[in-house]
Structure 1
Amino acid sequence: MDTRERLIQSTRELLWERGYVGTSPKAIQERAGAGQGSMYHHFHGKPDLALAAITRSAEETRSRAEAELGGPGSAAGRIAAYLRRERDALRGCPVGRLTQDPDVMADPRLRAPVEEYFTWLTDRLAGLLEQGRAGGELGPGLDPAATAAALVAVVQGGYVLARAAGSAEAYARAVDGALTLLTRQTPAKEGR
């Protein structure tokens, strides 16, 4: 890994652990094993480096989500695979945690990749839900946009519950509850 990549990775980790204010250039340099000159050779300053790190976190989180959402199977099955994917529920979402950072949210440049990720995720889920509804897999009364927003909220809220309880089981219960509600939107099959 070259110096630029080490700086981005170190910043990603520190933002997740400490937030924007707690992520000092010195801490980034120490974790990356890079000098001040190297940091400023690759980036104009902390905001520029933080933007690269946040963008990378959003891209990788999106890629992981797309692996399940774009995989084989029914729409509901792909959504279930996404929700049940193995996660470190006690650490939380590297993108979602940034929404709690007032310095990130106050800076339009730093906020943009966070907002773009959640817009993409909500739209991607809504598209799958619409596909399931159109194909008769999910009930015709299902509102894809509202349900997609609720599913995103379940994931992010599940992380919060897990961290508050100190147990990943709280995340799993939230997902199980959401999937139970979603499966109740499945039309009754003939002959049952």
Structure 2
Amino acid sequence: MYSAIMSTEEKSGRHERHDDVPEPLDAPEPRDVPESLGTRERLVRSTQELLWERGYVGTSPKAILERAGVGQGSMYHHFSGKSGLALAAIRRTAEELTAAAEECLATPGTAYDRIAAYLLRERQALRGCPIGRMTQDRDVVRNAALRAPLDEMFDWLRGRITDILTEGQRGGELSGELAPAATAATVTAVVQGGYVLARAADDPAPFDAAVQGVLALLSAQSTADRPATTPAD
């Protein structure tokens, strides 16, 4: 038991603990969390990393505390329990990914250039998408609160890309036959599917090929000639 300050659900035993879940064989090296950070911030950052590596079920309170380097009562001092901490971590990750995407999508240039900047930005293809990873976790998708940040981020991304494509059409950069909303959904699906294919092959090449494929489709709808593009390593 990590603390006398525990939620009613945890005391009743309705939530199974996973303190002894082994670390995946392909897990990346743990990242050190700076000791200069406050306890709450260290807990959130450690949980972000562990959720990306192990998923929700595989992330135990014990593993979080060890990664954060904090005492047993710390989690329950700042959060109601594992689910509350996981929600804070998932929201933080969604906010960070949204900001990274917006930085690319807000760059100067045509609609094609802006979407290409998003698709070609540096990614860790073999680790997968930290938010997409959560959609594969049954305990997350069945929990409305934990699932909400995932829905919000993907809804925002599809909407943002739809707006950019619509602007491109109105400006004469893209064919009027292009369906902005459907194309935005395709771009989002290609990125997430590319992660899955890369992880399955243990090779980023399938991700790069998927990106090149969707860029070729966009280029075919563009009114300007485009040079060949290459994904970042």
TM range (shorter): over 0.9
Q: 1:173 aligns with which of 180, 193, 209?
A: 209
Deviations 1:88-109 (A, max 9, x none): 1001111111110100000000
Question: Which structure is larger by alpha-carbon Rg, 1 or 2?
Answer: 2
**63, 71, 74: which one aligns with 2:110:** 74
Cα distance between partner residues in 2 of 1:161 and 1:24: 28
Structure 1 residue 39 corresponds to structure 2 residue 75: yes
- For structure 1, the 5+ residue unaligned runs are none
Which residue type is aligned with residue 177 of structure 2? G
Alignment-mate amino acid for residue 184 of structure 2: A
User: In the alignment, residue 220 of structure 2 is paired with which amino acid?
Assistant: R
Q: Give the aligned residue type for 1:113.
A: P
For residue 39 of structure 1, what is the amino acid of its counterpart?
Answer: M
Query: Which sections of structure 2, spanning at least 5 residues, go unmatched?
Result: 1-36, 226-233
Deviation beyond 6 Å, 4+ runs, structure 1: none
2:124 to 61, 74, 88: 88
How far residue 39 of structure 1 moved from its aligned partner, in angstroms, is 1.2
Amino acid at match of 1:120: W
Report the equivalent of 2:153. 117
Aligned residues: 189
Q: Distance between the aligned counterparts of 2:38 and 2:208, measured in 1?
A: 38
* CA distance in 2: counterparts of 1:106 and 1:131, whole angstroms: 37
Percent of counterpart pairs with the same letter? 63
TM-score normalised by length of structure 2: 0.79
How far the C-alpha of 1:187 sits from its partner, in A, is 3.2
Q: Which protein has the bigger helix share?
A: 1
Q: For 1:9 and 1:179, how far apart are their aligned partners in 2?
A: 34
Provide the alpha-carbon RMSD of the alignment: 1.0
Which residue matches 1:59? Answer: 95
Structure 2 CA distance for aligned equivalents of residues 120 and 72 of structure 1: 20
Structure 2 residue 164 is the aligned partner of structure 1 residue 128: yes
Once the two structures are superposed, residues 104-150 of structure 1 have per-residue CA deviations (whole angstroms, 9 ceiling, x without a partner) of 00000000001000000000000001011111111001110000000
Question: Shift of the alpha carbon at 1:188?
Answer: 6.8
Q: What residue in structure 1 maps to residue 43 of structure 2? A: 7
Deviations 1:21-76 (A, max 9, x none): 11111110011011121111111100100000000000000000001001111111
